[in-house]
Structure 1
Amino acid sequence: MELKDLYITPFYLALIYGIAYGVRGSVTNVYTKKYFIPALTVKIVGAIALGILYHTLYGGDTNNYYHQAGIIYHAFGDSFAAGLELVTTSGDITPAISKYVSRMTWFGHGSNEYFVIRVAAVFALFCFYTYTVIAILFAAITFSGMWVMYMTFSKIRPQAYKELAIAVFFLPSVFFWGSGLLKDSLCLGALGWLFYCFYRGAIERKNIIRCLVLGVMMSAVILSMKTYILLAFMPPALLWVFNESTRNIKSAAVRWLAKPLFLGVGTLVAIFAMSQLAAADARFNLDKIGEQSKITADYLQQVSKTEQGSGYNIGEQDGTLGGMAKLAPQAIVVSLFRPFLWEARNPTMLLSALEASYFMLLTVRIFWRVGFFKTIGAISSVPVLTLCFVFSLIFAISVGISSGNFGTLVRYKIPLMPFYLSGLYILQSLTVPQAAARAGQRRLAGVPRLARAHA
Structure 2
Amino acid sequence: MRLSTSVRPWAVGVAMATGAAYALAWAWAIGLQSYNVWGALLVLPAVIGVNAVLVWRAAVREPSPWFGRLLAFAFVAKMVGILVRYYVAYVVYDGATDAERYNLAAAFQYRSWRGGSITWDFATTRGTQYMELITTAVYTVIGPTTLAAFFVYGSFAFWGVYLLYRAFRVALPDGDHRRYALLVFLLPSMLYWPSSIGKESWLMLFVGATALGAAKFFNGQRGALLLLGAGAFGTALIRPHIAVLLFAALLLAQLFRPASTKVTGVLSKAAGVLVMGVAAWVLATQSAELLGTDDLNWEAVTQSLEMAGGRTTQGGSEFTPVPVDSPVALPAAAATVLFRPLPWEANNAQMLVQSLEGLFLLVLTLRSWPRLRRLPGLLRRNAYVVFALVYTTSFIVAFSGFANFGILARQRVLMLPFFLVLLALPKPRSVDDSDIDEREEVLSIGGGATRR
Q: Answer whether TM exceeds 0.5 for this pair.
A: yes
Which letter maps to 1:314? V
Matches within 5 A, 1:419-434: 419-425=418-424, 427=425, 429-431=426-428
Distance 1:25 1:399, change over 3 A: same
Aligned to 1:362: 364
Conserved? CA contact 2:244–2:280, under 8 Å:
no
Structure 2 CA distance, aligned partners of 1:15 and 1:81?
A: 24
| Cα drift, residue 239 of structure 1 | 3.7
TM-score (norm 2): 0.77
Aligned to 1:115: 130
| Cα drift, residue 130 of structure 1 | 0.7
Percent identity at matched positions? 17
Structure 2 CA distance, aligned partners of 1:123 and 1:267?
A: 32
Range 215-224 or range 274-283, more displaced:
274-283
Structure 1 CA distance, aligned partners of 2:372 and 2:281?
A: 39
Distance 1:434 1:52, change over 3 A: farther
Aligned to 1:97: none
Aligned to 2:397: 397
| Cα drift, residue 113 of structure 1 | 1.0
Structure 1 CA distance, aligned partners of 2:280 and 2:47?
A: 42
Structure 1 CA distance, aligned partners of 2:102 and 2:220?
A: 39
Structure 1 CA distance, aligned partners of 2:209 and 2:273?
A: 26
Matches within 5 A, 1:328-367: 328-367=330-369
| Cα drift, residue 191 of structure 1 | 0.5
Match of 2:322 among 314, 321, 344: 314
Aligned to 2:194: 178
Aligned positions, number: 393
The structure where helix makes up a greater share of residues is 1
Range 324-333 or range 281-290, more displaced:
324-333
Match of 1:169 among 182, 185, 193: 185
Conserved? CA contact 1:242–1:262, under 8 Å:
no
Distance 1:267 1:53, change over 3 A: closer
Conserved? CA contact 2:160–2:204, under 8 Å:
yes
Aligned to 1:46: 81
Structure 1 CA distance, aligned partners of 2:394 and 2:288?
A: 23
2:101 paired with 1:64:
yes
Conserved? CA contact 1:359–1:421, under 8 Å:
no
Aligned to 2:68: 33
The SS at the match of 2:413 is: coil
Distance 1:112 1:257, change over 3 A: closer
Which letter maps to 1:50? R
Structure 2 CA distance, aligned partners of 1:271 and 1:207?
A: 21
Distance 1:327 1:370, change over 3 A: closer
Conserved? CA contact 2:214–2:384, under 8 Å:
no
Structure 2 CA distance, aligned partners of 1:325 and 1:158?
A: 33
Which letter maps to 1:365? R
Aligned to 1:453: none
| Cα drift, residue 55 of structure 1 | 0.7
Distance 1:385 1:132, change over 3 A: same
Match of 2:286 among 256, 269, 277: 277
Which letter maps to 1:277? Q
| Cα drift, residue 325 of structure 1 | 5.7
Structure 1 CA distance, aligned partners of 2:398 and 2:227?
A: 26
Structure 1 CA distance, aligned partners of 2:410 and 2:90?
A: 18
Conserved? CA contact 2:208–2:231, under 8 Å:
no
Aligned to 1:146: 161
| Cα drift, residue 234 of structure 1 | 1.1
Which letter maps to 2:169? S
The SS at the match of 1:13 is: helix
2:302 paired with 1:294:
no
Show structure 2 runs of 5+ residues with no match. Answer: 1-28, 436-452
Matches within 5 A, 1:190-269: 190-200=206-216, 202-208=217-223, 211-241=224-254, 246=259, 249=260, 251=261, 261=270, 265=274, 268-269=277-278
Aligned to 2:152: 137
Q: CA RMSD in A?
A: 3.2
| Cα drift, residue 128 of structure 1 | 2.5
Conserved? CA contact 1:340–1:356, under 8 Å:
yes
Structure 2 CA distance, aligned partners of 1:271 and 1:124?
A: 33
The SS at the match of 2:197 is: coil
Structure 2 CA distance, aligned partners of 1:233 and 1:341?
A: 31
Deviation string, structure 1 residues 205-254 (Cα, Å, up to 9, x no partner) = 3434xx434432331221121122112111222344455562xx3x4x87
| Cα drift, residue 144 of structure 1 | 2.2
Deviation string, structure 1 residues 73-115 (Cα, Å, up to 9, x no partner) = 24346xx243x12xx2236xxxxxxxxxxxxxxxx51x31112
Structure 2 CA distance, aligned partners of 1:433 and 1:113?
A: 52
Structure 1 CA distance, aligned partners of 2:177 and 2:228?
A: 25
Distance 1:255 1:243, change over 3 A: farther
Aligned to 2:13: none
Conserved? CA contact 2:111–2:140, under 8 Å:
no
Aligned to 2:25: none
Conserved? CA contact 1:146–1:189, under 8 Å:
yes
| Cα drift, residue 385 of structure 1 | 2.3
Range 405-414 or range 351-360, more displaced:
351-360
Aligned to 1:412: 411
Distance 1:255 1:354, change over 3 A: farther
Aligned to 1:449: none
| Cα drift, residue 165 of structure 1 | 1.4
Conserved? CA contact 2:372–2:422, under 8 Å:
no
Conserved? CA contact 1:366–1:432, under 8 Å:
no
TM-score (norm 1): 0.76
Distance 1:370 1:13, change over 3 A: closer
Range 376-385 or range 357-366, more displaced:
376-385
| Cα drift, residue 410 of structure 1 | 0.3
Distance 1:390 1:159, change over 3 A: closer
